[in-house]
Amino acid sequence: MMIKRINITRAILLYCVIFFSSHLVAQDADLVKGIKTVVIDAGHGGKDPGCHGAKSNEKTVTLAIALHLGKFIQDKYPDIKVIYTRDSDVFVELDERAKIANEAKADLFICVHANAGPSKAFGAETYVLGLHRTEAQRKIAERENSVIEFEEGAGDKYEKLSVDAIIARQLQLSVFLDHSINFATKIQDELVALGRSNRGVRQAGFLVLYKTTMPSVLIETGFLTNPTEEKFLADPASQKKMATSLFKAFETYKAEYEGADLSVNSTINGVDTAKFGVDENSITAKDIVYRVQIETSATPLDLTNSRFQNMPVWTYESTGLYKYTVGLFKNNTPANDLKKEMRAKGFEHAFVVAFQGDTRIKLADAIKITEK
């Protein structure tokens, strides 16, 4: 009898999947045509402060990052409609946040949050809808979902997110899941480039993601319960940097589906991003590569340090010192060109260094090997 009940349940779920998916395919086609509407959701707000550190709370941090991100999108792409689920310190129910995105027929839903955990926990992670794989992921989803405790009659609006319910919803929205994961991956890549620790792309049963019907991600920007991360996330300059990273991920994601060329007019502090060289993923451990060293320090420096002018920095240790470089090239010539630009930007002692894998080798030897 139990087997029959399970089969009936699966059959009902399959029917729902087929029914809803038929309505979502058209929306997927619209996404590929272009991104026209983005909904940005700053987590918590009003009577719901979210998690907190010693001095800051989640609702304040998320709102600042969300507003910066929205402005970046509006300034660069005035034809894209940016909608905030909240643009001030007000309480918005989870159900209403999803409703705003669905009624706007948004092409992308970006939910910004901050994390809580042990004081030593650190790093950024981006979630898509799915089944949690660890107890920690389950607890994060439960904490963010607990917002409904501030809502009246929440029990009538939200169904329990069982395994079957989440699986069914994933299948219904399968046309968007790849987009969500793709965008989430780009977010993590940009946050790593900023110097944030990478906790990866993960899945969990967030109610706000469960109820949206478009590519949707939820970003846990860092741990307010970690004193170092709280100091970073509460800093207005850092909040703008975080938003910049999210915007870069958005630009890359948008360009991928619209066939745009990001190398045109794309700069970091006046330096054409194309001049920073090749994609690191195209390099093998045997390849000879060239970088431009711009800084040396006896103590570790945060890669978001203002002295790096928001450029993508790669660091290595040698002779007991921490050394910082920009650029990645398979040829010495473009590395020399970037060196000149770095010196013009104030890095007077910038010079070219060579590596094979993660091991630094003599520049002269590297040039000989490259020329062969």
| Mean pLDDT, range 180-190, rounded to an integer | 90
Q: Residues 293, 349: contact at Cβ < 8 Å?
A: no
pLDDT band at 78, cuts 50/70/90?
very high
2-258 is classed CATH 3.40.630.40: yes
Provide mean pLDDT across the span 172-191: 80
Residue 23 binned pLDDT confidence (cut-offs 50, 70, 90): very low
Q: What is the pLDDT of residue 306?
A: 78
Determine the pLDDT at residue 285: 80
- Residue 20, pLDDT > 50, answer no
Q: Domain segments of the chain: what residues? A: 2-258, 270-371
Nearest 5°: CA angle at 92, between 91 and 94?
A: 135
Q: Concatenated DSSP letters for 122-157? A: --EEEEEES---SHHHHHHHHHHHGGGGGSTTHHHH
Residue 368 has pLDDT above 50, yes or no: yes
Architecture field, domain 270-371: 2-Layer Sandwich (3.30)
Res. 157: pLDDT tops 60: no
pLDDT value at residue 259: 60
Instruction: Residue 11: name the closest of 140, 164, 129 by CA.
Output: 164
Q: How far is CA 300 from CA 291, 347, 352, in A?
A: 19, 18, 21
pLDDT by residue (tens digit) across 90-118?
999 888 888 999 999 999 999 999 999 99
Coil, strand or helix at 56: coil
pLDDT, position 204? 72
Cα angle 288, 294, 299; round to 5? 105
Whole-number Å distance between alpha carbons of 47 and 44? 8
Residues across the chain: 372
Query: For residue 134, how far is the Cα from the chain centroid?
Result: 20
User: Where is pLDDT greater, at 204 or 10?
Assistant: 204
Which is more confidently placed, 154 or 331?
Answer: 331
Lowest mean pLDDT among 30-44, 200-214, 272-286: 272-286
182 confidence band (pLDDT: 50, 70, 90): confident
So what's the pLDDT on residue 148?
44
Of the listed ranges 92-101, 134-143, 243-252, 296-305, the one predicted with least confidence:
134-143
Please tell me if the domain spanning 2-258 has the same topology as the one spanning 270-371: no
Mean pLDDT calculated for residue range 46-52: 90
Per-residue confidence (pLDDT) for residue 84, from 0 to 100? 98
The per-residue pLDDT for range 216-266, each reduced to its tens digit, is 999 999 999 999 999 999 999 999 999 999 999 999 888 876 765 444 445
Which of 61, 187, 69 is closest to 124 using CA atoms?
Answer: 187
**Of all residues in the chain, what percent carry a pLDDT higher than 90?**
40
Q: What is the pLDDT of residue 190?
A: 92
Average pLDDT over the chain, rounded to whole? 79
2-33 helix and 174-194 helix, angle to the nearest 10 degrees: 60
